Amino acid sequence: MTQSLDTSHLWMPFTANRQFKARPRMLVAASGMYYTSDDGRQILDGTSGLWCVNAGHGHPRITAAIQQQAAQMDYAPLFQIGHPLAFEAASALAEIAPAGLNRVFFCNDGSEGVDTALKLALAYHRIRGDAGRTRLIGRERGYHGVGFGGIAVGGIAGNRKQFGPGLAADHLRHPLNIAKNAYSRGLPLHGAEMADELEQRLLALHDPSTVAAVIVEPLQGSTGVILPPQGYLEKIRAICDKHGILLIFDEVITGFGRLGTAFGADYFGVQPDMIVCAKALTNAAVPMGAVIVKQEIHDCFMQMAPADSIELFHGYTYSGHPLAAAAAIATLKVYKEEQLFQRAAELTPYFEEAAHSLRGLPHVKDIRNLGLVAGIELESIPGKPGARAYELFTKAFWDKDLLTRVTGDIVALSPPLIINKAQIDVMFGSIADILRAIK
Protein backbone atom coordinates (compact mmCIF):
# COMPACT_ATOMS: atom_id res chain seq x y z
CA MET A 1 0.00 0.00 0.00
CA THR A 2 2.74 2.47 0.98
CA GLN A 3 4.57 1.99 -2.31
CA SER A 4 1.61 3.30 -4.31
CA LEU A 5 0.59 6.06 -1.91
CA ASP A 6 1.44 9.65 -2.86
CA THR A 7 2.79 11.23 0.32
CA SER A 8 4.01 14.46 -1.29
CA HIS A 9 0.99 16.70 -0.67
CA LEU A 10 0.55 16.26 3.10
CA TRP A 11 2.61 18.52 5.36
CA MET A 12 2.74 16.46 8.56
CA PRO A 13 2.64 18.08 12.02
CA PHE A 14 5.56 17.78 14.46
CA THR A 15 7.28 15.41 12.03
CA ALA A 16 10.61 15.30 10.21
CA ASN A 17 8.71 15.09 6.94
CA ARG A 18 11.63 14.20 4.66
CA GLN A 19 12.85 11.53 7.07
CA PHE A 20 9.38 10.03 7.48
CA LYS A 21 8.59 9.94 3.77
CA ALA A 22 11.83 8.08 3.06
CA ARG A 23 10.39 5.12 4.99
CA PRO A 24 6.77 5.79 6.07
CA ARG A 25 5.31 4.17 9.15
CA MET A 26 1.65 3.63 8.24
CA LEU A 27 -1.27 2.53 10.39
CA VAL A 28 -4.46 1.38 8.67
CA ALA A 29 -6.70 -0.06 11.40
CA ALA A 30 -7.04 -0.22 15.17
CA SER A 31 -8.83 -2.33 17.77
CA GLY A 32 -8.40 -2.55 21.51
CA MET A 33 -4.72 -2.36 22.40
CA TYR A 34 -3.44 -2.70 18.85
CA TYR A 35 -2.96 -0.84 15.60
CA THR A 36 -2.62 -2.69 12.33
CA SER A 37 0.21 -1.53 10.07
CA ASP A 38 -0.07 -1.38 6.30
CA ASP A 39 2.07 -4.52 6.08
CA GLY A 40 -0.36 -6.43 8.28
CA ARG A 41 1.46 -6.40 11.62
CA GLN A 42 -0.29 -5.91 14.98
CA ILE A 43 1.37 -2.94 16.72
CA LEU A 44 0.97 -2.77 20.50
CA ASP A 45 -0.05 0.81 21.34
CA GLY A 46 2.23 1.95 24.15
CA THR A 47 1.12 5.58 23.91
CA SER A 48 -2.70 5.61 23.63
CA GLY A 49 -2.19 7.14 20.20
CA LEU A 50 -1.10 10.56 21.46
CA TRP A 51 -2.00 10.13 25.14
CA CYS A 52 -5.67 10.07 24.19
CA VAL A 53 -7.23 6.62 23.50
CA ASN A 54 -7.77 5.68 27.15
CA ALA A 55 -10.59 3.19 26.58
CA GLY A 56 -8.80 1.35 23.78
CA HIS A 57 -9.31 1.65 20.05
CA GLY A 58 -12.64 1.21 18.35
CA HIS A 59 -14.75 0.81 21.47
CA PRO A 60 -18.10 -0.42 20.11
CA ARG A 61 -20.29 1.78 22.34
CA ILE A 62 -18.44 4.93 21.36
CA THR A 63 -18.45 3.99 17.69
CA ALA A 64 -22.18 3.24 17.78
CA ALA A 65 -22.95 6.58 19.46
CA ILE A 66 -21.09 8.47 16.73
CA GLN A 67 -22.73 6.50 13.93
CA GLN A 68 -26.20 7.01 15.35
CA GLN A 69 -25.69 10.74 15.81
CA ALA A 70 -24.22 11.16 12.32
CA ALA A 71 -27.34 9.58 10.86
CA GLN A 72 -29.66 11.71 13.00
CA MET A 73 -28.02 15.16 12.82
CA ASP A 74 -24.55 15.78 11.49
CA TYR A 75 -24.12 19.37 12.68
CA ALA A 76 -25.81 22.13 14.63
CA PRO A 77 -24.31 25.40 15.86
CA LEU A 78 -24.19 26.67 19.43
CA PHE A 79 -24.26 30.35 18.51
CA GLN A 80 -27.67 31.59 19.70
CA ILE A 81 -29.16 28.11 19.23
CA GLY A 82 -28.52 24.73 20.75
CA HIS A 83 -28.88 20.98 20.57
CA PRO A 84 -29.54 18.65 23.52
CA LEU A 85 -26.37 16.57 23.34
CA ALA A 86 -24.09 19.54 24.02
CA PHE A 87 -25.93 20.23 27.30
CA GLU A 88 -25.93 16.53 28.20
CA ALA A 89 -22.20 16.28 27.55
CA ALA A 90 -21.52 19.35 29.71
CA SER A 91 -23.58 17.87 32.57
CA ALA A 92 -21.77 14.53 32.31
CA LEU A 93 -18.39 16.26 32.40
CA ALA A 94 -19.35 18.50 35.31
CA GLU A 95 -20.51 15.42 37.21
CA ILE A 96 -16.99 13.95 37.37
CA ALA A 97 -15.13 17.26 37.77
CA PRO A 98 -13.81 18.42 41.16
CA ALA A 99 -16.42 20.05 43.38
CA GLY A 100 -17.16 23.63 42.41
CA LEU A 101 -15.92 23.30 38.84
CA ASN A 102 -19.24 22.88 37.09
CA ARG A 103 -19.44 25.24 34.13
CA VAL A 104 -18.17 23.90 30.79
CA PHE A 105 -17.06 25.72 27.64
CA PHE A 106 -16.52 23.38 24.68
CA CYS A 107 -13.84 23.72 22.05
CA ASN A 108 -12.11 21.29 19.72
CA ASP A 109 -8.77 20.36 21.24
CA GLY A 110 -6.29 21.19 23.97
CA SER A 111 -4.73 24.10 22.11
CA GLU A 112 -8.10 25.83 21.79
CA GLY A 113 -8.84 24.91 25.39
CA VAL A 114 -5.70 26.63 26.65
CA ASP A 115 -6.36 29.77 24.60
CA THR A 116 -9.94 29.77 25.89
CA ALA A 117 -8.82 29.47 29.52
CA LEU A 118 -6.26 32.25 29.15
CA LYS A 119 -8.85 34.54 27.53
CA LEU A 120 -11.31 33.74 30.31
CA ALA A 121 -8.70 34.65 32.92
CA LEU A 122 -7.87 37.97 31.28
CA ALA A 123 -11.53 38.84 30.72
CA TYR A 124 -12.51 37.80 34.26
CA HIS A 125 -10.11 40.25 35.86
CA ARG A 126 -11.10 43.01 33.44
CA ILE A 127 -14.84 42.76 34.07
CA ARG A 128 -14.14 42.82 37.81
CA GLY A 129 -12.36 46.14 37.40
CA ASP A 130 -8.85 44.69 37.64
CA ALA A 131 -7.74 45.26 34.05
CA GLY A 132 -4.09 45.65 35.06
CA ARG A 133 -3.80 41.88 35.35
CA THR A 134 -2.52 41.06 31.88
CA ARG A 135 0.52 38.88 32.55
CA LEU A 136 0.42 35.10 32.35
CA ILE A 137 2.84 32.65 33.92
CA GLY A 138 3.65 29.18 32.61
CA ARG A 139 6.54 26.87 33.23
CA GLU A 140 9.78 25.90 31.48
CA ARG A 141 9.34 22.79 29.34
CA GLY A 142 5.59 23.17 29.70
CA TYR A 143 3.46 22.20 26.72
CA HIS A 144 0.13 23.97 26.32
CA GLY A 145 -0.64 23.37 22.69
CA VAL A 146 0.19 25.45 19.65
CA GLY A 147 -2.13 28.48 19.74
CA PHE A 148 -0.51 31.84 20.29
CA GLY A 149 -1.61 31.81 23.91
CA GLY A 150 -0.39 28.27 24.43
CA ILE A 151 3.06 28.86 22.96
CA ALA A 152 3.42 32.04 25.02
CA VAL A 153 2.88 30.26 28.34
CA GLY A 154 4.48 27.08 27.06
CA GLY A 155 8.11 26.60 27.88
CA ILE A 156 9.44 24.72 24.84
CA ALA A 157 11.48 27.21 22.85
CA GLY A 158 11.32 25.25 19.61
CA ASN A 159 7.53 25.59 19.57
CA ARG A 160 7.63 29.39 19.42
CA LYS A 161 10.99 30.64 18.12
CA GLN A 162 9.76 30.86 14.51
CA PHE A 163 6.67 32.89 15.32
CA GLY A 164 7.82 36.11 16.95
CA PRO A 165 6.77 37.66 20.27
CA GLY A 166 3.39 36.69 21.66
CA LEU A 167 1.45 37.43 24.83
CA ALA A 168 3.12 38.84 27.93
CA ALA A 169 4.23 35.71 29.76
CA ASP A 170 6.95 34.51 32.06
CA HIS A 171 7.95 31.04 33.20
CA LEU A 172 8.69 29.12 36.35
CA ARG A 173 11.60 26.75 36.26
CA HIS A 174 10.54 23.16 35.76
CA PRO A 175 11.00 20.93 38.82
CA LEU A 176 13.00 18.09 37.25
CA ASN A 177 16.12 17.41 39.34
CA ILE A 178 17.71 14.14 38.33
CA ALA A 179 20.67 14.69 40.67
CA LYS A 180 18.37 14.51 43.71
CA ASN A 181 15.38 12.55 42.43
CA ALA A 182 16.71 10.00 39.93
CA TYR A 183 14.62 6.83 39.63
CA SER A 184 11.79 8.23 41.75
CA ARG A 185 8.86 5.90 42.15
CA GLY A 186 5.88 8.21 42.05
CA LEU A 187 6.26 11.79 43.24
CA PRO A 188 9.83 12.97 43.88
CA LEU A 189 10.75 13.72 47.47
CA HIS A 190 12.83 16.82 46.77
CA GLY A 191 11.96 20.12 45.18
CA ALA A 192 8.71 21.48 46.63
CA GLU A 193 10.61 24.65 47.46
CA MET A 194 10.94 25.34 43.74
CA ALA A 195 7.35 26.54 43.86
CA ASP A 196 8.50 29.43 46.07
CA GLU A 197 10.15 31.11 43.09
CA LEU A 198 6.70 31.98 41.83
CA GLU A 199 6.46 34.46 44.68
CA GLN A 200 10.11 35.19 45.39
CA ARG A 201 11.23 35.75 41.79
CA LEU A 202 8.38 36.14 39.31
CA LEU A 203 5.84 38.00 41.42
CA ALA A 204 8.59 40.12 42.95
CA LEU A 205 9.77 40.98 39.44
CA HIS A 206 6.43 41.72 37.83
CA ASP A 207 4.23 42.79 40.80
CA PRO A 208 1.43 40.35 41.73
CA SER A 209 -1.22 42.87 40.74
CA THR A 210 -0.20 42.50 37.09
CA VAL A 211 -0.56 38.69 36.95
CA ALA A 212 -3.84 37.19 35.72
CA ALA A 213 -3.15 33.47 35.85
CA VAL A 214 -0.66 30.70 36.35
CA ILE A 215 -1.04 27.64 34.12
CA VAL A 216 0.67 24.32 34.80
CA GLU A 217 0.31 20.70 33.80
CA PRO A 218 -0.08 18.64 37.00
CA LEU A 219 2.31 16.22 35.29
CA GLN A 220 4.39 17.57 32.40
CA GLY A 221 3.85 14.88 29.80
CA SER A 222 4.85 15.94 26.29
CA THR A 223 8.21 17.27 27.43
CA GLY A 224 9.24 13.88 28.83
CA VAL A 225 7.27 13.06 32.01
CA ILE A 226 8.31 15.63 34.61
CA LEU A 227 6.62 15.00 37.94
CA PRO A 228 5.80 17.61 40.60
CA PRO A 229 7.67 17.05 43.85
CA GLN A 230 5.60 16.26 46.92
CA GLY A 231 3.89 19.45 48.13
CA TYR A 232 4.83 21.48 45.04
CA LEU A 233 1.36 21.98 43.57
CA GLU A 234 -0.07 22.77 46.99
CA LYS A 235 2.42 25.62 47.28
CA ILE A 236 1.53 26.97 43.85
CA ARG A 237 -2.15 26.98 44.85
CA ALA A 238 -1.45 28.80 48.13
CA ILE A 239 0.63 31.50 46.42
CA CYS A 240 -2.05 32.09 43.80
CA ASP A 241 -4.70 32.37 46.52
CA LYS A 242 -2.58 34.85 48.45
CA HIS A 243 -2.26 37.19 45.49
CA GLY A 244 -5.64 36.81 43.77
CA ILE A 245 -4.19 34.95 40.79
CA LEU A 246 -6.19 32.30 38.94
CA LEU A 247 -4.70 28.81 38.75
CA ILE A 248 -5.30 26.81 35.56
CA PHE A 249 -4.54 23.11 35.35
CA ASP A 250 -3.81 21.86 31.84
CA GLU A 251 -5.16 18.32 32.17
CA VAL A 252 -5.20 17.45 28.50
CA ILE A 253 -3.00 14.45 29.39
CA THR A 254 -3.80 13.80 33.05
CA GLY A 255 -7.57 13.95 32.64
CA PHE A 256 -9.76 10.84 32.44
CA GLY A 257 -7.95 8.21 34.41
CA ARG A 258 -4.31 8.51 33.43
CA LEU A 259 -3.33 8.80 37.11
CA GLY A 260 -6.09 6.50 38.37
CA THR A 261 -8.49 9.35 39.12
CA ALA A 262 -10.87 11.39 37.01
CA PHE A 263 -8.46 14.34 36.97
CA GLY A 264 -4.99 15.10 38.23
CA ALA A 265 -6.61 17.64 40.54
CA ASP A 266 -8.27 14.71 42.32
CA TYR A 267 -5.03 12.77 42.55
CA PHE A 268 -3.10 15.68 44.05
CA GLY A 269 -5.97 17.04 46.13
CA VAL A 270 -5.43 20.53 44.69
CA GLN A 271 -8.37 22.43 43.22
CA PRO A 272 -7.60 24.82 40.37
CA ASP A 273 -9.89 27.59 39.17
CA MET A 274 -10.09 26.09 35.68
CA ILE A 275 -9.29 22.74 34.10
CA VAL A 276 -8.44 22.38 30.43
CA CYS A 277 -9.19 18.92 29.08
CA ALA A 278 -9.37 17.23 25.67
CA LYS A 279 -7.82 14.06 24.18
CA ALA A 280 -9.46 11.24 26.18
CA LEU A 281 -12.68 13.23 26.67
CA THR A 282 -14.01 11.46 23.57
CA ASN A 283 -11.45 8.64 23.59
CA ALA A 284 -10.04 10.63 20.63
CA ALA A 285 -12.78 9.29 18.35
CA VAL A 286 -13.91 12.84 17.47
CA PRO A 287 -11.88 15.97 18.28
CA MET A 288 -13.19 17.77 21.36
CA GLY A 289 -11.82 19.90 24.16
CA ALA A 290 -13.33 21.71 27.12
CA VAL A 291 -12.58 24.23 29.82
CA ILE A 292 -14.23 23.44 33.14
CA VAL A 293 -14.62 26.58 35.21
CA LYS A 294 -15.52 27.38 38.79
CA GLN A 295 -19.10 28.54 39.02
CA GLU A 296 -18.18 31.88 40.58
CA ILE A 297 -16.03 32.75 37.57
CA HIS A 298 -18.87 31.91 35.19
CA ASP A 299 -21.40 33.77 37.32
CA CYS A 300 -19.27 36.90 37.31
CA PHE A 301 -19.62 37.07 33.50
CA MET A 302 -23.38 36.54 33.78
CA GLN A 303 -23.84 39.22 36.43
CA MET A 304 -21.58 41.91 35.00
CA ALA A 305 -22.88 41.94 31.41
CA PRO A 306 -25.90 44.06 30.49
CA ALA A 307 -29.21 42.21 30.28
CA ASP A 308 -29.83 40.29 27.06
CA SER A 309 -26.28 40.84 25.84
CA ILE A 310 -23.56 38.37 24.90
CA GLU A 311 -21.49 37.82 28.03
CA LEU A 312 -18.36 36.43 26.33
CA PHE A 313 -17.30 37.20 22.77
CA HIS A 314 -15.57 33.90 22.16
CA GLY A 315 -16.40 30.55 20.59
CA TYR A 316 -15.80 28.12 17.76
CA THR A 317 -17.87 26.87 14.83
CA TYR A 318 -17.51 23.34 16.17
CA SER A 319 -18.03 24.04 19.88
CA GLY A 320 -20.11 21.17 21.22
CA HIS A 321 -20.31 19.51 17.80
CA PRO A 322 -23.08 16.87 17.85
CA LEU A 323 -20.79 13.96 16.93
CA ALA A 324 -18.21 15.03 19.50
CA ALA A 325 -20.88 15.46 22.17
CA ALA A 326 -22.24 11.99 21.42
CA ALA A 327 -18.73 10.56 21.63
CA ALA A 328 -18.06 12.34 24.95
CA ILE A 329 -21.28 11.10 26.56
CA ALA A 330 -20.57 7.54 25.45
CA THR A 331 -16.94 7.72 26.53
CA LEU A 332 -17.71 9.00 30.02
CA LYS A 333 -20.24 6.17 30.42
CA VAL A 334 -17.62 3.63 29.35
CA TYR A 335 -15.11 4.99 31.86
CA LYS A 336 -17.66 4.71 34.66
CA GLU A 337 -19.29 1.39 33.82
CA GLU A 338 -16.05 -0.40 32.96
CA GLN A 339 -14.31 1.20 35.99
CA LEU A 340 -11.30 2.16 33.91
CA PHE A 341 -10.04 4.79 36.33
CA GLN A 342 -9.98 2.18 39.10
CA ARG A 343 -8.32 -0.27 36.74
CA ALA A 344 -5.53 2.22 36.08
CA ALA A 345 -5.01 2.74 39.80
CA GLU A 346 -4.85 -1.00 40.41
CA LEU A 347 -2.36 -1.55 37.59
CA THR A 348 -0.07 1.28 38.67
CA PRO A 349 2.16 -0.77 41.04
CA TYR A 350 2.73 -3.45 38.39
CA PHE A 351 3.40 -0.82 35.73
CA GLU A 352 5.85 0.91 38.07
CA GLU A 353 7.80 -2.28 38.72
CA ALA A 354 7.98 -3.05 35.02
CA ALA A 355 9.22 0.46 34.22
CA HIS A 356 11.93 0.37 36.88
CA SER A 357 13.07 -3.07 35.73
CA LEU A 358 14.92 -1.13 33.00
CA ARG A 359 17.20 0.47 35.58
CA GLY A 360 20.80 -0.54 35.01
CA LEU A 361 20.36 -1.33 31.33
CA PRO A 362 22.63 0.38 28.79
CA HIS A 363 22.05 4.10 28.21
CA VAL A 364 19.33 4.51 30.90
CA LYS A 365 19.83 7.77 32.79
CA ASP A 366 16.56 8.06 34.73
CA ILE A 367 13.11 6.51 35.03
CA ARG A 368 10.06 8.47 36.18
CA ASN A 369 6.55 7.16 36.64
CA LEU A 370 3.12 8.12 37.95
CA GLY A 371 -0.14 6.29 37.28
CA LEU A 372 0.04 4.69 33.83
CA VAL A 373 2.74 7.07 32.64
CA ALA A 374 6.45 6.38 32.45
CA GLY A 375 9.39 8.38 31.16
CA ILE A 376 12.69 6.66 30.41
CA GLU A 377 15.47 9.18 29.94
CA LEU A 378 18.49 8.00 27.97
CA GLU A 379 22.04 9.30 27.84
CA SER A 380 22.44 11.33 24.68
CA ILE A 381 24.96 10.51 21.99
CA PRO A 382 27.53 13.35 22.03
CA GLY A 383 26.63 15.84 19.32
CA LYS A 384 23.44 13.98 18.37
CA PRO A 385 20.72 14.85 20.88
CA GLY A 386 17.60 12.76 20.40
CA ALA A 387 19.24 10.26 18.05
CA ARG A 388 19.38 7.40 20.54
CA ALA A 389 15.71 7.62 21.54
CA TYR A 390 14.70 7.96 17.90
CA GLU A 391 16.58 4.78 17.09
CA LEU A 392 14.70 3.04 19.89
CA PHE A 393 11.41 4.38 18.53
CA THR A 394 12.06 3.09 15.02
CA LYS A 395 13.35 -0.30 16.16
CA ALA A 396 10.33 -0.67 18.42
CA PHE A 397 8.00 -0.04 15.48
CA TRP A 398 9.76 -2.15 12.84
CA ASP A 399 11.34 -4.92 14.92
CA LYS A 400 9.15 -5.26 18.02
CA ASP A 401 5.68 -4.24 16.77
CA LEU A 402 5.46 -1.61 19.50
CA LEU A 403 4.44 2.04 19.31
CA THR A 404 6.36 4.34 21.67
CA ARG A 405 6.74 8.11 21.80
CA VAL A 406 9.98 10.03 22.14
CA THR A 407 10.84 13.61 22.93
CA GLY A 408 14.53 14.38 22.77
CA ASP A 409 16.19 11.37 24.39
CA ILE A 410 13.21 10.54 26.57
CA VAL A 411 10.91 7.63 25.81
CA ALA A 412 7.36 8.32 27.04
CA LEU A 413 4.85 5.53 27.61
CA SER A 414 1.13 6.00 28.31
CA PRO A 415 -0.82 2.94 27.17
CA PRO A 416 -4.61 2.65 27.02
CA LEU A 417 -6.11 1.98 30.44
CA ILE A 418 -7.32 -1.42 29.21
CA ILE A 419 -3.76 -2.79 29.04
CA ASN A 420 -3.17 -6.05 30.91
CA LYS A 421 -0.11 -7.31 32.78
CA ALA A 422 1.05 -9.55 29.95
CA GLN A 423 1.01 -6.59 27.56
CA ILE A 424 2.91 -4.48 30.10
CA ASP A 425 5.55 -7.22 30.19
CA VAL A 426 5.77 -7.26 26.39
CA MET A 427 6.09 -3.48 26.21
CA PHE A 428 8.92 -3.13 28.70
CA GLY A 429 10.55 -6.39 27.65
CA SER A 430 10.74 -5.14 24.07
CA ILE A 431 12.30 -1.87 25.20
CA ALA A 432 14.82 -3.78 27.30
CA ASP A 433 15.85 -5.86 24.28
CA ILE A 434 16.35 -2.74 22.18
CA LEU A 435 18.36 -0.97 24.89
CA ARG A 436 20.73 -3.94 25.00
CA ALA A 437 21.13 -3.84 21.22
CA ILE A 438 21.58 -0.16 20.35
CA LYS A 439 24.81 1.77 20.70
Q: How confident is the model at residue 167 (pLDDT cuts 50, 70, 90)?
A: confident
Cβ neighbors of 149 (< 8 A, separation 6 or more) are 114, 115, 118, 119, 136, 166, 167
- Give per-residue pLDDT as tens, 82-119: 999 999 999 999 999 999 999 999 999 999 999 999 99
What percentage of the chain's residues is helix, strand, coil (to nearest 5)? Answer: 40, 20, 40
Query: Phi and psi at residue 299, in whole multiples of 5°?
Result: -65, -30
Check whether 1 has a pLDDT greater than 60.
no
- Give per-residue pLDDT as tens, 259-307: 999 999 999 999 999 999 999 999 999 999 999 999 999 999 999 999 9
Single pTM value for the model:
0.97
pLDDT, residue 4, reads: 86
- Give per-residue pLDDT as tens, 45-73: 999 999 999 999 999 999 999 999 999 99
Residue 439 to residue 437: CA distance in whole angstroms: 7
Residue 94 to residue 116: CA distance in whole angstroms: 17
Q: How confident is the model at residue 168 (pLDDT cuts 50, 70, 90)?
A: confident
Q: How confident is the model at residue 22 (pLDDT cuts 50, 70, 90)?
A: very high
What 3-state class would DSSP assign to 195? helix
Check whether 422 has a pLDDT greater than 70.
yes
pLDDT, residue 268, reads: 98
Nearest to 258 by CA among 218, 214, 216, 215: 218
Q: Which helix (H) or strand (E) holds 367?
A: strand 364-370
Residue 41 to residue 34: CA distance in whole angstroms: 9
Question: E strands along 238-326, which residues?
Answer: 246-250, 274-277, 289-294
The residues pairing with 204 across neighbouring beta strands, listed in sequence order, are none
β pairing state of 410-413 and 402-403: unpaired
Check whether 361 has a pLDDT greater than 80.
yes
Nearest to 407 by CA among 259, 227, 220: 220
What secondary structure, in 3-state letters, does 372-439 show? Answer: CEEEEEECCECCECCHHHHHHHHHHHHHCCEECEEECCEEEECCCCCCCHHHHHHHHHHHHHHHHHCC
How many residues are listed for the chain in this entry? Answer: 439
Mean pLDDT over 23-40 rounds to 97
Judged by average pLDDT, the poorest of 166-170, 205-209, 216-220 is: 166-170
Query: Phi and psi at residue 116, in whole multiples of 5°?
Result: -60, -45
Q: How confident is the model at residue 161 (pLDDT cuts 50, 70, 90)?
A: confident
